Amino acid sequence: MTTTNRQIHLASRPDGEASSANFRLVEAPAPEPASLAVGQVLVRHHYLSLDPYMRGRMNDAKSYAVPQKLGAVMGGGTVGEVLASRHPGYQPGDKVVGMGGWQEYAVVDAAQPGALRKVDTTHVPLSAYLGAVGMPGVTAWYGLMKICAPVPGASIAVSAASGAVGSVVGQLARAKGCRAVGIAGGPEKCAYVVDELGFDACIDYKAHADPKSLYQALADATPDGIDGYFENVGGAVLDAALARMNAFGRIAMCGMISGYDGAPIPLAHPALILQSRLRVEGFIVSEHMEVWGEALGELAGMVASGRLKYRESVAQGLESAPDAFIGLLKGRNFGKQLVKLI
Amino acid sequence: MTTTNRQIHLASRPDGEASSANFRLVEAPAPEPASLAVGQVLVRHHYLSLDPYMRGRMNDAKSYAVPQKLGAVMGGGTVGEVLASRHPGYQPGDKVVGMGGWQEYAVVDAAQPGALRKVDTTHVPLSAYLGAVGMPGVTAWYGLMKICAPVPGASIAVSAASGAVGSVVGQLARAKGCRAVGIAGGPEKCAYVVDELGFDACIDYKAHADPKSLYQALADATPDGIDGYFENVGGAVLDAALARMNAFGRIAMCGMISGYDGAPIPLAHPALILQSRLRVEGFIVSEHMEVWGEALGELAGMVASGRLKYRESVAQGLESAPDAFIGLLKGRNFGKQLVKLI
């Protein structure tokens, strides 16, 4: 009996908002252990990671992300278990993290640098390697430590604060002796950010449709201004944060999810970059591999010791991935969005 | 007979565009040498510098520039000659640069750090200490060298390219082995930038009212993209430059003159900062005094040897200062705007 490998392909590119109609569920035969070439590893995926950057790859536009090919398996981070291996570094039963894509099984050329990494699940749950101890965690670490470069006592703010990246930014900032203020959507997320994650304050941007109201709420939460801002959303939230920046503040531009689906959202007052002598820097964590070792080490230690908390939204089954992804783009997830495949 | 010290005061704050009606010519008695206190120096101004930053100071808004007081002499850089001195470092006849303001004479507390600096006019004309070998020159030097940080072969672009700052940016970039592309208003300025200053190309933004046309012209002039951009104007020009930036490019935000008079001009595509992983940094040269010695030394050497060229727009007489300043804000000047006071 041949096992089935269910896959999600990109069926069409979005015209405006992405929808589940852009995806197609495809059934392929699962790779056979006997068919592995030397150096290859067969992995069964336990979790698939859904991340905002995937929306950019669905377009055919020039962007930092190489466009996702039409009619091919959607790319994405995965954790799973080795079923069979023709690479000496991997044995059946090993837990691994890789870029297996939106499918249940993958054959990986393990000799390729960065293609597969064995992970220890003694103190860190497997799924965390897609979140706080994975790409989102390192993203938070890089933007905070290398761009915002906070000193103890500094005021750090972060948008999408309950998300996979934002939640790590604020907790790391607190661990560095900073004041951490989050911006999130809805009272439940804000309560979680303050009560569970230990941020000093959190603004509910959904309660402030008017830019002046949003600015005032942020001003109340950041009485000493903002020294470092970590941006995940863009739009009105970025406008408000920019206006609260202290002189010589730093802004790490990590994501602009509010503008991914439609027309670009302008920045209302770019002259503030000059007036407040800010440094605004965009980055992609995969271009800074030199920090991954240090960052993952620190993040794993914090998770293992309970000092770094995280929440996961887990959708069940590969077929649920498209809807879960659309929900992520709309902020319906709460914490790291995963799809459980077993 | 008492000599008259003519002064220009700020009479009112602009509501929208600045106009000459915001200024008032006032006649005061010139300070008497006999009235100098210990440490004071009496300077007769030869030239007054007019600079875009003065527009910001006319507002009462929170900005990096302390607001100009109503009913007081407009602040501004000046060069002149010492008439009398009770400071041992200054003798009558010494040529000096300072912040004497929009008036014909000033008494300066020379002991105050940075208040007055003696200059050598053997190889560098006195007026150049307000331009290429003064604050505008150091501004160009700082933004190019410390923010754009160009390497030989890099593509550097600068707006207001025929102006006091922009002209130095491009010539310095060429001296560092870079390709220099200017953006300026009108065919005469563009021809000057290329033919006299030696830039590789110059775009006339006035010939491209449509953003797509402006972008295409800039694209034609920067076939390899832009690695470092020095911004003096903001608005549509910044939008076009942002779209031409190469990955990991740097933008030095020095001025946004296009938005000084009216409503803020939004930035159309802030997501490009992330997509191209740019560093965008605002700065004010007076906050980086540590570079002035090195920068002025290099700039003076280049002017003295003829490798750094500049042009001056010289208005005659203090009474012409308001109109000359309004003209500067509208781009009517050609090169460094000065007012000759003798």
Q: Is B253 on the interface with A (CB under 8 A)?
A: yes
Q: How much is the average pLDDT of A267-275?
A: 94
* The residue type at B115: A
Whether A287 and chain B come into contact, CB under 8 Å, resolves to: yes
The band of B61, judged by pLDDT with boundaries at 50, 70 and 90, is confident
- Calpha distance A264→B271 (Å, rounded): 8
The answer to whether A277 contacts chain B (CB < 8 Å) is yes
Distance (Å) from the C-alpha of residue B279 to the closest C-alpha of chain A?
A: 4
* Whether pLDDT at B273 is above 80: yes
Query: For A14-136, where are the E strands, in sequence order?
Result: 23-29, 40-49, 78-85, 95-98, 105-109, 116-118
Residue A148 CA, chain-centre distance (Å), reads 18
Chain A positions touching B288 (Cβ under 8 A) are: none
Residue B58 to residue B68: CA distance in whole angstroms: 6
Residues of B in Cβ contact (< 8 Å) with A259: 271
Q: Has residue A302 got a pLDDT over 80?
A: yes
Q: How confident is the model at residue B244 (pLDDT cuts 50, 70, 90)?
A: very high
How much is the average pLDDT of B244-257?
95
Q: CB distance B64–A279 less than 8 Å?
A: no
Q: Closest by alpha carbon to A284, among A160, A147, A100, A155?
A: A147
Question: Tokens standing for B266?
Answer: 């939004």
- Contact between B274 and A254 using a beta-carbon 8 Å cutoff: yes
Given a cut of 70, is residue A65 above it in pLDDT?
no
d(CA A240, CA A234): 10
Strand segments, DSSP code E, in B4-57 are 4-10, 23-29, 40-49
**Mean pLDDT taken over chain A:** 95
Residues A254 and A231 sit within 8 Å (Cβ to Cβ): yes
Given a cut of 70, whether residue A63 has pLDDT beyond it is no
Are the C-beta atoms of B295 and B133 separated by less than 8 Å?
no
Query: Average pLDDT, stretch B83-89?
Result: 97
Instruction: Decide if B250 contacts B231 (C-beta within 8 A).
Output: no
Amino acid (1-letter code) at residue A32: E
- Chain B interface includes A273 (CB < 8 A): yes
The residue assigned the tokens 């935000």 is: B253
- pLDDT score of B21 more than 90: yes
Who among B254, B256, B273 is closest to A282 (CB)?
Answer: B273
Q: Which domains does chain B have, with CATH numbers?
A: 4-131+311-340 (3.90.180.10), 135-286 (3.40.50.720)
Residue A307, Cβ neighbours under 10 Å: how many?
A: 13
Q: Do the chains contact at B254 and A270, CB–CB below 8 Å?
A: no
pLDDT, tens digit (0-9, with 9 covering 90-100), for B91-129 = 999 999 999 999 999 999 999 988 999 999 999 999 999
Is the separation of the CB atoms in A337 and A315 below 8 Å?
yes
Nearest to A282 among B56, B264, B277 (CB): B277
* Helices then strands, each counted (H, E), chain A: 9, 15
Q: Please state the ipTM of this predicted complex.
A: 0.90
Please state, as a whole number, how many other Cβ atoms lie within 10 Å of the Cβ of residue B15.
8
Give SS3 for B23: strand
A264 and B284: CB-CB below 8 Å? no
pLDDT tens sequence across B200-222: 999 999 999 999 999 999 999 99
pLDDT digits (tens, 9 = 90+) for B174-183: 999 999 999 9
Question: SS3 for B70?
Answer: coil
In whole angstroms, give the CA distance from residue B215 to residue B329.
Answer: 24
What are A197-203's contacts with CB under 8 Å, separation 24+? A197/A161, A197/A162, A197/A167, A197/A170, A197/A171, A197/A309, A198/A170, A198/A171, A198/A174, A199/A161, A199/A170, A199/A171, A199/A174, A200/A174, A202/A161
State which residue of chain A sits closest to B65, comparing Cα positions. A275
What is residue B62's predicted lDDT score, i.e. its pLDDT?
61
- The answer to whether A32 and A3 have CB atoms below 8 angstroms apart is no
**Which residues from A are below 8 Å from B242, CB to CB?**
none
